[in-house]
């Protein structure tokens, strides 16, 4: 049975959204292809949906957000007079400001030390780039030399220590063997022997 | 918050066709949401859907409250429409044409019954799917589809009567 105009109208959105079965869609197309009135209706509704989807949202008024916050959370306290001018100073009394200031001071001290700037008696020559470079270079070399000497000393200490003390994996193997031969006649020149001499 | 406020304002503006009313209603919506936040449950759907539902209820209340005022203002609206229609066709650029079409759409939407208007706004302007609209309007999905279909056809007819044909 062929569809009439009422059926076309009732299933217009389903057709435009692709929700009709193939048979229903065929019936829809068959009727709307021959009926000028339905053809016009389909075209206008299709255009309308496209136009509505392309429509930009309306910009909300700028004072909407503050108004909503005021109406829900209550009006926020506003400062006036000298409080309005010096309100920003409150940030100084926050702990994070103290941490930040301390970090800046320490960094400044380290940098000035590295650059060799005498803070007690600063001279113009201290700010000469060549002097700054030399001082930084000297400080870096000194720091490197100190570091390498420290590492070298550590290595020597570690070597001496490792010779004096048996390693942990060797101790349980040698201890039972050494226990019965603790007589003066038995002299195995192992690490345990040396350890006992020391 | 900002996203929801813009969406709610759009919904109110599309429904009422008045910026100031839409602004006042948006504030009222958030007041109501703030007061009834404790009653929100997952069964109401996503939070956005629930907020839309609150908005819709408020819009319907507002519509009923102001029905009498609108009847007295209807003659003035007709005059404004005729004036704006006469001044149309003077803007050559596309964005102006889109704005103009938006204005006509807005006026045409105001002529629909609230049931059809809210269904079309939620579907075609707010982009909600049928299941979300069913939750917002608290009617079966078949009714939602039927209202959207009738709303679109009615809107197209109103626009045709206004001499507007959207491409």
How close A1 gets to chain B, by Cα (Å)? 23
- Give the per-residue pLDDT at A105: 93
CB count, 10 Å around CB of B13? Answer: 22
What pLDDT does residue B69 have? 66
Q: B126, B83 in Cβ contact below 8 A?
A: no
Residue A82 pLDDT exceeds 80: no
What's the length of chain A? 198
Q: Which of B153, B155, B161 to mutate to test the interface with A (most CBs of A within 10 A)?
A: B153
Q: Which of A9-18, A39-48, B70-79 is the least confident region?
A: B70-79
- For residues A104-132, give the mean pLDDT: 79
Higher pLDDT, A93 or A185: A93
Tell if the CB–CB gap between A13 and B13 is shorter than 8 Å.
no
Q: What's the pLDDT score for residue A170?
A: 56
pLDDT tier at A79, thresholds 50, 70, 90? low
Q: Is the pLDDT of residue A197 over 60?
A: no
Does position B117 have pLDDT exceeding 60, yes or no? Answer: yes
3-state secondary structure of B1: coil
3-state secondary structure of A116: coil
Residue in chain A nearest B103 by alpha carbon: A55
Nearest CA in chain A to B9: A60
Q: Which residue has the higher pLDDT, A37 or A198?
A: A37
Residue A111 has pLDDT above 90, yes or no: no
Which residue among A48, A64, A72 sits closest to B155, beta carbon to beta carbon? Answer: A48
Nearest chain A residue (CA) to B6: A60
Chain A to chain B Cβ contacts (< 8 Å): 91
Where is pLDDT greater, at B131 or A70?
Answer: B131
Nearest CA in chain A to B99: A55
With 0-12 / 13-18 / 19 or more C-beta atoms within 10 angstroms meaning exposed / middle / buried, residue B137 is buried
- Coil, strand or helix at A21: coil
pLDDT in tens, B62-99: 888 887 666 555 545 544 444 444 444 444 455 666 66
A73 vs B22, residue with greater confidence:
B22
CA distance A124 to A139: 20
- Does the global pTM surpass 0.95? no
Q: Please report the pLDDT score of residue A67 as a whole number.
A: 82
Domains of chain B with bracketed CATH = 2-161 (1.10.10.10)
Distance, CA of B130 to CA of B144 (rounded, Å): 7
The pLDDT value given to residue A119:
67
pLDDT at A43 exceeding the cut of 90:
yes
Residues of B in contact with A71 (CB under 8 A): 27, 30-31
CB distance B66 to B12 below 8 Å: no
| DSSP letter string, B35-70 | HTGGG--GGG-SHHHHHHHHHHHHHHHHHHHTHHHH
Minimum-distance CB partner of A64 among B5, B127, B156: B5
CB of B19 within 8 Å of a chain A CB? The answer is: yes
Which residue numbers of A have CB closer than 8 Å to B's CBs? 9-14, 41, 44-45, 47-61, 64-65, 67-68, 71-72
Residue-wise pLDDT tens digits, B52-65: 888 988 888 888 88
- pLDDT tier at A192 (50, 70, 90 boundaries)? very low
Q: Quote the percentage of chain A above a pLDDT of 70.
A: 76
B100 or B144, which is more confident? B144
Distance of alpha carbon A133 from alpha carbon A61, whole angstroms = 58
Instruction: Tell me which residue in A48, A56, A57 faces B166 most closely, judged by beta carbons.
Output: A48
pLDDT tens track for B20-37? 889 899 988 988 888 888
Cβ within 8 Å, pair B30-A61: no
Contact by Cβ (8 Å): A23, B139: no
Q: How far is CA A100 from the centre of its chain?
A: 19
Rounded mean pLDDT of chain B?
A: 81
User: What pLDDT is recorded for position A62?
Assistant: 83
What pLDDT, on a 0 to 100 scale, did the predictor assign at position A181?
A: 43
Q: Which of B36-40, B101-105, B120-124 has the lowest mean pLDDT?
A: B36-40
């Amino acid at each position: 049975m062929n569809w009439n105009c009422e059926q076309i109208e009732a299933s217009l959105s389903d057709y435009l959204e692709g929700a009709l079965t193939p048979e229903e869609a065929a019936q829809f197309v068959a009727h709307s292809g021959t009926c000028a009135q339905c053809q016009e209706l389909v075209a206008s509704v299709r255009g309308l949906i496209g136009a509505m989807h392309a429509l930009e949202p309306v910009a909300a008024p700028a004072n909407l957000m503050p108004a909503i916050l005021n109406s829900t959370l209550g009006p926020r306290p506003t400062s006036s007079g000298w409080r309005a001018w010096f309100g920003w100073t409150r940030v100084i009394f926050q702990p994070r400001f103290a941490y930040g200031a301390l970090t800046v001071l320490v960094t400044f001290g380290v940098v000035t030390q590295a650059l060799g700037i005498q803070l007690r008696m600063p001279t113009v020559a201290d700010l000469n780039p060549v002097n700054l470079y030399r001082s930084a270079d000297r400080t870096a070399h000194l720091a490197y030399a100190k570091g390498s000497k420290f590492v070298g000393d550590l290595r020597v200490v570690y070597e001496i220590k490792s010779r004096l003390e048996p390693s942990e994996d060797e101790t349980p193997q040698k201890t039972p063997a050494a226990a019965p031969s603790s007589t003066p006649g038995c002299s195995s020149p192992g690490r345990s022997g040396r350890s006992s001499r020391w | 918050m900002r996203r929801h406020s813009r969406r709610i304002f759009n919904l109110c503006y599309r429904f009422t066709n008045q910026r100031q009313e839409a602004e006042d209603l948006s504030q009222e919506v958030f007041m109501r949401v703030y007061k009834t936040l404790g009653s929100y449950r997952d069964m109401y759907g996503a939070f956005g859907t629930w907020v839309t539902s609150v908005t819709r209820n408020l819009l319907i209340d507002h519509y009923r409250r102001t029905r009498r005022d609108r009847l007295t203002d209807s003659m003035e609206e007709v005059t404004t429409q005729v004036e704006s229609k006469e001044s149309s066709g003077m803007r050559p650029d596309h964005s102006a044409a889109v704005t103009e079409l938006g204005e006509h759409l807005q006026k045409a939407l105001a002529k629909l019954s609230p049931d059809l208007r809210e269904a079309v706004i939620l579907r075609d302007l707010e982009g909600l799917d049928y299941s979300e609209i069913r939750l917002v309007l608290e009617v079966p999905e078949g009714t939602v589809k039927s209202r959207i279909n009738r709303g679109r056809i009615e809107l197209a007819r109103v626009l045709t009567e206004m001499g507007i044909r959207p491409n």
